[in-house]
Each structure stands twice: as C-alpha cells, then as structure tokens.
Amino acid sequence: MARSTRESILTAAAELMRHKGYAGVGMKDIADASGAPIGSLYHHFRGGKTQIAREALVNAGAAYGLLIPTVVDAYTDLGEAVDGVFRQAAEDMAHTGFANMCPVASVAAEVADTVEDLRQATGGIFGQWIDGGTAYFVGRGLDGARARDVTLALIGALEGAFLLARVLRSAEPLLAAGRVLAPQYRGTVLTAPAGVGKAAI
Amino acid sequence: MARSTRESILTAAAELMRHKGYAGVGMKDIADASGAPIGSLYHHFRGGKTQIAREALVNAGAAYGLLIPTVVDAYTDLGEAVDGVFRQAAEDMAHTGFANMCPVASVAAEVADTVEDLRQATGGIFGQWIDGGTAYFVGRGLDGARARDVTLALIGALEGAFLLARVLRSAEPLLAAGRVLAPQYRGTVLTAPAGVGKAAI
DNA sequence: GTCTATAGTACGATAGAC
DNA sequence: GTCTATCGTACTATAGAC
C-alpha cells in the first residue's frame, strides 16, 4: 500500500473520532495513533485540528455512504431491502460489541451547535448521502419524492437506532426499526441495479 | 423557586452539554453558567465531572421522556399521533434555529464507547423512555410487542432525524420521517389516555 | 456550605534543527 | 518533509481560609 503520512493521519483521526468524538480526541492522540509526530500534523494540515477533522470526516463519510446502496443492490423488493439493511446493521454492530458504526454521527452531534466549520462539513456529507441515495432509488424505479423520503427515513432511522443500540448494547432498536419500516414497502418492486448508481454516491 | 446551588449546577451542566457535548464542556464553564465557584462544584459533587454529567443527564432525561406521551395524548388515531409527534418536533426545532433538542443524545453518542459509567447512565435513561413509552401505548390499547416496537421506532427515528435536522439546518428529515412512519398506523385507534400513564415515565 | 488560589497535567499550536 | 522541544493556555481537581 505505502500509505502516505497524510493518509495515515486522516485514517487515524477518523477512527479515533468515531469512538471518542471531536473534543475527546487530542492532537497527541492522533500523532500517536498515526505514527507521525505532532510537527507533521501541522505540516500537512496547517488548519490544525479542525482541518484534520474536516478532511477525515469527508474521507470516511464518502466511503460509508456506499453502505445502503451496496446492501440494497442484493434485493428486488424494497420491503426486503429495508429489512436487509437493518438486519445487516444489527449483525455488524453485534460483531463489534456495539461500538460505533457511523464515522460521522458522533462528531456531527457534538459540533452542530458549536463549530460552524465542521457543522457545514458534516452537513455536506449527509447531503451527499441523501442526494446519492435518492439518485440510487430513482435509478431503481422509484419516483423522486418517494426516493428522497425513503432515503431520509432510512438514514435517519439508522442513525437513531445506531445510537440506541450503542448505548443499550443491544440490537433490538435496529431490528425494531426494520420491523416497523419494512412492511409498508413490501410489494414495491425495484428495477435492476444500474451498477453505476453507487459511483454517484 | 429558590433553586439550590446544587440544582443550578445541574441545570447549567445539562444545558451546556446538550449543545457542546461532554468533553466540550469544562468545569469552569459549568461554574460560570451556574454562578457557583469551582469549589462548590466539588463540594456538592465529590465524583467530579462525571457525577455532574450523570445527575444532569438523569434529571433532564426524566423530564424530556414525557414529550412523546404528552403529544400523543391529544390524538385518538395512532397514525395522526405519529404525524403530530414529528410535526411538533419540526416546529420546535425551527423555532430554536435547529439547535439540539434532546439533552441526552449528543453526550450519549460521545461516551458510549469510552466512558462506561456514563454509557450506563444514558442507557438507563433510554431504557426508561422505552419502558415508559411501551407502558403508555399499552395503556392506550396496543398489545405489548407492538407498543414496544412503536416506541423504539419513534425514539430512534426522532433521534436520527434530530441529528440530520441540526446538521442540515432543515426540518425536512423530521417531516420525511413522519410521512414514512405515519401512514401504516392510520386507522389504529387508541383508547382514551389514562392520565396516569405519563407519571410512569 | 462558600469561595479563592493553585497544584499538576494535558491541551492546541509553533519554532526551528535536521 | 520529519521530528523535538517548548510556549502559553485551559483543563480537572484539591487545599484551605472564611
């Protein structure tokens, strides 16, 4: 791989902040976890901590946004797809001991009212997920308004259920969300995946 | 009123942490906002910052848990009630400029993987919301399993939509959640509110 | 029970040798 | 581009006068 120092810093920061939030992670922590000394952090990111957080969130967020389309790709019935998304999420969380899944949510919750710069960055990421998901579902035959509502409801319900599942250390909130959301979409047939749709996200 | 120093500290801490999270709030901040000097904080809370956070979360969480039953009380159709919950939440958020509503979520997201003591505290609060909400809906005629799923889905969808709404500074995620969740419950008639149910939460 | 002063540590950020 | 040493500040927590 031969990852650059810059990349190491961003992946270390993303992983740390996913679990400990923004204020809870120090530059020293990022330096230690990435293997780079403090000076290198400021050499590569002159904007300091906020710039590192911003770029780390954008990187991790772009990758994480592919999750829903990737899972849904395997289904042709929207109801089963919704069910599959929450079952998959429940399985993944159980495997990690109910540690945080989403690399954006915790930091977003922490900075939304306080660090305008990072609020905008996280807003951009969520916006891309929403637009990308909407385009994906439109590509699979749903009309625009319905596609957007499904995407918003899926992302919202996932983020909320992630939080409850982490705190309660239980998959129940994720499975309950699936049980409630899936039935109404059962019978809605999705057209064949384009394969290109995912790239749009 | 004549609020005690203890109470002032807890309400100040709860309000600060709702917006800035746990690590983002210092003891100095709490002292300044409450009017009490640092020494008083440690006099009343020998457990330091984590004890203040724990008690502040429990206090604020107990009050906030009444929100869903209070709104649902005004409805007899479950679908309209669900719609009403998200409409009310959207209105409230818009009025505060999309600042955080839930006093527990941000801190919970931040500490769930790191501060076991506070993870348990927030878990207890969410657990009470879930149990209380389930009991409330059972009191209004739903069977147990359905009542619990509705409660879990409502709380999860609300928390997720709150996060998206804050970050995007838009009520759309809340309204979309209502549009998606409400229809399937339309026609489900709720029995008359007991009036006691709320006290159980 | 209230409040001040301060200990001891960790923070974000910088300067400058290599 | 890498790394060390360090600045100045803010942190949690404590000691002790009142």
Is residue B53 within 8 A of residue B107, CB to CB? The reply is yes
- Rounded Cα distance between B24 and B40, Å, is 21
Q: Do the Cβ atoms of B163 and A112 come within 8 Å?
A: yes
Which uninterrupted H or E stretch holds B162? helix B144-168
Q: Any idea what the Cα angle at residue A162 is, between residues B62 and B105, rounded to 5°?
A: 30
- A-B contacts (CB, under 8 Å): 172
- Rounded Cα distance between A145 and A151, Å, is 10
Q: Any idea what the Cα angle at residue A161 is, between residues B95 and A136, rounded to 5°?
A: 85
Residue B104 in this model has a pLDDT that exceeds 80: yes
DSSP-derived letter for residue A183 is: G
Question: How many domains does chain B fold into?
Answer: 2
Residue-averaged pLDDT of chain B: 95
Contacts of A108 in chain B (CB under 8 A): 163, 166-167
pLDDT of residue B1: 54
Contacts of A163 in chain B (CB under 8 A): 105, 108-109, 112, 156, 159-160
| Facing A161 at nearest CB: one of B23, B156, B177 | B156
pLDDT of residue B18: 98
Section B80-105 average pLDDT: 97
Question: Where residue B31 sits, what CATH number does that domain have?
Answer: 1.10.10.60
Residue ranges for chain A with pLDDT beneath 70: 1-2, 195-201
At residue B196 the predicted structure's pLDDT band, cuts being 50, 70 and 90, is: low
- Rounded Cα distance between A150 and A133, Å, is 9
Looking up tokens 């509110």 gives B193
- B96 and B31 in a common domain: no
Runs of H (alpha helix) within chain A: 5-20, 27-34, 38-44, 48-64, 67-72, 78-95, 105-111, 116-139, 144-168, 172-181, 197-200
- B119 and B174 in a common domain: yes
pLDDT of residue B194: 83
Q: Which domain range does residue A18 map to?
A: 5-60
- A103 and A26 in a common domain: no
Tens digit of each residue's pLDDT (9 = 90 or more) over B142-188: 999 999 999 999 999 999 999 999 999 999 999 999 999 999 999 99
pLDDT of residue A194: 83
Which uninterrupted H or E stretch holds B29? helix B27-34
pLDDT of residue A3: 83
- A52 and A73 in a common domain: no
